[in-house]
Amino acid sequence: MSEGLAAALLLLAFVAWMLLPLIPALLELLRPTDATPLAMVGQDAGELTYFADRFRGYLQEQLARSADASTAATGRFADGTSWVRMPLAEHGSAAARVDAVVLADPDTWLPSDGVYTMELFARGDLTCGARTVVRALLADGACELGDGSDVLRWVHAEGVLRAGVDATLHGRATSHEAIELRPGVRFARLRAPRIASEGASGLEPLPPLPAEEHTALTPFVPTGATRLGDGYLRVDGSLVVPPCSLVRANLIVRGDLRLEAGSRVQGAVKAHGSVTVGRDVVVDGAVVAQREVHVDAGARLLGVVIAEGAVELAARVQVGCPDRPATIAAPRVRLAPGVTVHGAINTADGAVEAPGTRAATRRQTAA
C-alpha cells in the first residue's frame, strides 16, 4: 500500500469518525420526522416583573431607613439617591423635568410633557398626561399613560394599565389585572391576565365554544398523511383544511397550512412554512410556524403561538383563556383593534394597528 493511499484512508476514517455523532441530525435534516410539535418553554419565558419587584424591595428598605420620607417634600435615601414627593397635580400644571426618584401620592395626575429620568412610584392610581416620558414606573393601583407617552425601561401596575394612542412601551409592561392598548401603541414584552387592544367599535363578544359533540363539523383526515404515533399526523407538502372541518389530531405540515373558516383542530399545529387561520377557527393547542402566522377575525387559539416570522391577529381574535394563559412569541407582532390575549406577548417589534391603516382596513372589512 502506497503512503498516499494510506494517508487518504486515514483521513477518510478520521472524517467518518467525526461525522458519526452527527448522523441522526443529518438524517433529520434530509428527512424530517417531526414526531412532536416544537417544545415550549413553559407559558412565559422569564419573570417579567423582575425589575419591578426589585425596585419595590429597594423602596421598602430605603423608606424604612428614611424617617422624613412620609412627611417631607424632598430628600435623600440612605444610599444618597435623591427623591421628591409628587402631590396631586391640577390640570394645566406646567410640565416638569425631574431628576430624582418620584414618590407620587394616591390619585396623582402628572402634567403633559413631563420628563422623569429616574424611577417613579405611585402609592395608588396614577394618570400621566400626554407625551410623558418615564424611565420606569411602579403603581400600586391603576395606571394610565397619556397619548404619545414613552416608558423607557419597564412599567408595572397592580391594577389596570392603560396605554394611550401612540404610546411606546420600550421594555417590560405588566399588570396583575389587565393591560389595555389604544391604537398606535408600540410594545416589546407584555404580561397580564388580560391584554386587550382597544379602539374598534361594535365588536360583539365571541360566542361560546362549540359543544364537544361538534355535530355541525365534518371530520377530516388529510389524504396521504403519515401517522407518527398516537394523535400525530404529518403531511408532506402544504395542507388546506376545508371549512367547518374537525381535526382530531396534532398536525405537522412540511409546507404551508391553511385552516379554513369555522374549522376546529383538537390538538396543536406546526408548519415548516406559514400558518393561516381562517375566520372563527378554533385551535385547542399550540400554533407554531417557521414563517408567519396570520389569524382572521373571531378565531380562538387556546395554546401558545410561536413564529419565526410575523404574527398578525385580526379583530376579535382570542389567544389563551382566563384559566389557561398562553404566550405569543415572534420577532414581529401586529394586533388589530379588538384582540384579547390572556397571558404574555414577547416580541422585538409589537404594535396595535390604528384604524384606517391598510392592514386594519382589510381585516375589518373581512370581519
Choice between 253 and 72, residue whose per-residue pLDDT is larger? 253
For residues 193 and 230, membership in a common domain is answered with no
In the chain, the number of structural domains is: 2
Range with the poorest average pLDDT among 87-91, 131-135, 231-235, 311-315: 87-91
Range(s) of the domain holding residue 121: 50-197
Tell whether 8 is covered by a domain: no
Q: Is the pLDDT of residue 249 over 80?
A: yes
Nearest to 315, CA basis, from 183, 149, 150, 172: 183
Tell whether 207 is covered by a domain: no
**Cell 381535526 appears where?**
247
For residues 62 and 179, membership in a common domain is answered with yes
Tell whether 318 is covered by a domain: yes
Burial zone of 217 (CB within 10 Å; 0-12 exposed, 13-18 middle, 19+ buried)? middle
Q: What value does the mean pLDDT take over residues 134-141?
A: 96
For residues 359 and 225, membership in a common domain is answered with yes
For residues 171 and 69, membership in a common domain is answered with yes
Tell whether 237 is covered by a domain: yes
Burial zone of 70 (CB within 10 Å; 0-12 exposed, 13-18 middle, 19+ buried)? exposed
Tell whether 132 is covered by a domain: yes
pLDDT computed for residue 87 by the predictor: 72
3-state secondary structure of 245: strand
For 44-56, b/e burial (b = at least 16 CB within 10 A) is: beeebbebbeebe
Identify the domain boundary among 152, 168, 197: 197
Q: Which residues pair with 246 in a beta bridge?
A: 219, 264
- Radius of gyration of the chain, Cα coordinates, nearest whole angstrom: 26
Q: Is the pLDDT of residue 307 over 90?
A: yes
pLDDT band, residue 96 (cuts 50/70/90): confident
For residues 127 and 159, membership in a common domain is answered with yes
For residues 138 and 273, membership in a common domain is answered with no
Nearest to 278, CA basis, from 254, 304, 257, 299: 299
For residues 223 and 323, membership in a common domain is answered with yes
Tell whether 37 is covered by a domain: no
Q: Is the pLDDT of residue 67 over 90?
A: no
pLDDT computed for residue 11 by the predictor: 74
For residues 228 and 351, membership in a common domain is answered with yes
* Conformation bin of residue 320: beta by default, left when phi > 0, alpha when psi is -120 to 50: left
Q: Which three cell numbers stand for residue 339?
A: 384582540
Tell whether 233 is covered by a domain: yes
For residues 156 and 291, membership in a common domain is answered with no
The 8-class DSSP code of residue 334 comes to E
Whether the Cβ atoms of residue 270 and residue 232 lie closer than 8 Å to each other? no
Helix or strand holding residue 227 (H, E)? strand 226-229
3-state secondary structure of 350: strand
193 CB contacts (<8 Å, ≥6 apart)?
Answer: 175, 176, 177, 178, 322, 325, 342
Choice between 275 and 86, residue whose per-residue pLDDT is larger? 275
Q: What value does the mean pLDDT take over residues 92-103?
A: 79
For residues 139 and 56, membership in a common domain is answered with yes
Range with the poorest average pLDDT among 19-23, 44-48, 157-161, 326-330: 44-48
pLDDT computed for residue 43 by the predictor: 41
Q: Please, what sign has the CA dihedral across residues 30, 272, 249, 220?
A: negative
Identify the domain boundary among 136, 164, 197: 197
For residues 58 and 168, membership in a common domain is answered with yes
Q: What is the pTM of this model?
A: 0.82
Tell whether 297 is covered by a domain: yes
Nearest to 240, CA basis, from 223, 226, 259: 259
pLDDT computed for residue 73 by the predictor: 80
For residues 54 and 130, membership in a common domain is answered with yes
